[in-house]
Structure 1
Amino acid sequence: MSSKITVIGAGSVGSTIAYTLSNQNVASEIVLIDINKEKVEGEVMDIAQGTCFRDPISIVAGEYEDAKDSDIVIITSGIARKPGQTRIELTQTNVNILKSITPEIVKVAPHALYIIVSNPVDIMTYVFTKISGLPENQIIGSGTILDSARLRCGLSEHLNVAQNNIHAYVFGEHGDTSFIPWTGAYVSGVSLDEYYDIAKSMGKEVKEVDKDAMLEYVQKSGGQIIKRKGATFYAVSASVCKLCSILTSSSDSITTVSSMMHGEYGIDDVCLSTLTLVGPNGIQGKVPMRMNKKEIEQLHKSADALKEVIAQINLD
């Protein structure tokens, strides 16, 4: 374990990522950067004081230059949507924040793998890809890795089967046009549709999944959590830290992250999530999954919705 990870943004998500990383064996150095110096110093002090229960780790409240030689940089900076604010207005505000961060961090950490978490994540990943000047394999949007985790959680509870036996994914935008390609939904090596009969033969009463309701559960979970507690940060942090462990592993993994499309499924010049081979060298490429005509149409719908937003923002 010798990875250096920089987290930019010490809000709920960024600080929880730093805290979660401090409890894992993924990083030996963590740098937390935020424009609010007092906040970031307080977060680091709080996190560092709990690290006596693990192997030694360095955690500092830093400036951009402290990110030098980072293996991974995680960008979480941005503001939450305010009442009455349109999605486009929020997007432009967060794009402007990203435009101010990008040259500063890329200058000191040009070889790092970048994980974009700031929302709207697919747009932010696209913008960072366009303005950073970095090779695309170094840029990974957290995309629908959280949505897919929510799906596995929901299916696990419905089927009463461990989450690690559920292989199902959410594709497209991390947002309202995301969808579940049920063609690729499996319980271990058995398709979801086949599993009902198998469970029944074992005396287990398993109702068929209401697919529309499950998609709604995935899409609305974030809003429900925000309504109840004000923000979401535990599950997204766990997802990002899992991505960090993938990027520091000895071999590649397949997951749903957002990256630039180059003709896959007939989609080009937009970032969204499909199955992607990711590992210590960043993104290695897309893994084509068999989908039916309706599912491919849903992916195109998601891409078109994102392109419509991109067309309305200022990248200069």
Structure 2
Amino acid sequence: MSFVPSPIPFAADSGPSRRFCVAPMMDWTTPHFRYLARVLSRRALLYTEMVTTGALIHGDTERFLRHDPSEYPLALQLGGSHAGELAHCAKLAQQFGFDEVNLNVGCPSDRVQNNMIGACLMGHPDKVAEGVAAMIAATDLPVTVKHRIGINGRESWDELCEFIETVAAAGCKTFIVHARIAILEGLSPKENRDIPPLKYDWVYRLKQAYPHLEIIINGGIKTFEDCHEHLAHTDGVMLGREAYHNPWLLADVDTEFFGEPAPVTSRHDALRAMFPFIQQELDRGVYLTHMTRHIMGLFLGQPGGRQFRRHLSENANKPGSGLEVVEQALAKVREPELITES
């Protein structure tokens, strides 16, 4: 499928393109996965894991915000609700070189609810607006919000519109919409990603109702065919689990959605491009297994892919494991040109 521009014009502020984004995912979109994602695509907008304002203010700020410059364009996702703390962390995002700062209003876990973080904030649009206004005043970066279409008890179309209008009035121009409600009691975060039904038509309606806003759609998107269907109605798409479990999908993003050449042409080349970074991280004292767990899906469905994953699983966690373990695993997967030989 060839590159097709979005039919919906949006005059975005200076900042990264959100036409194709990789979602923030706890324990998954770490610097090590993001490095792989950037090897595969120069144009996909990447997001960090959610970092709470408390962790940044009272914890090891440098560790939480550490990233490789090659990861740009890169957005920092914050979890929090106190306007002053959000403003402080937005300033940190700019100081550390991020391209965007995003507020999490979608995470349904009990732990974050107790701290007034995540999807529970859908019930407090004024509080979200206050935080967004403080962030906008504190930074030159684009400030965006990622949210659900509702929460249990506040799941009507009118309540969603109230949320959008209240937060937009505070200055937010970009809304990343997970097309499910969040059930705040009785479902785990994992169940909240699957059980509430997807309502893509609601996200489409948001773009129709608020054409001056940038609307990015998220939730259950797996294929480029899905992406193009959504791009006929919205300004951008955000993929999560599919991009993580099948990262090679990202290798076609630049061509498919931006009309630009792919950065790499084989999975082998992509992994070899990571070798200097892996060695650099090993030299910093990072355990190999902390990196290899994020490359397990690179050879998904390929001959030798299972042996590749098994070798990493059985050896990367051994004391002193180094780059040679990755090289040995890579040798178990045939080069592309060998696969087609008779």
Q: Shared fold (TM-score greater than 0.5)?
A: no
Superposition TM-score, scaled by structure 1 size: 0.32
Indicate the structure with greater strand content.
1
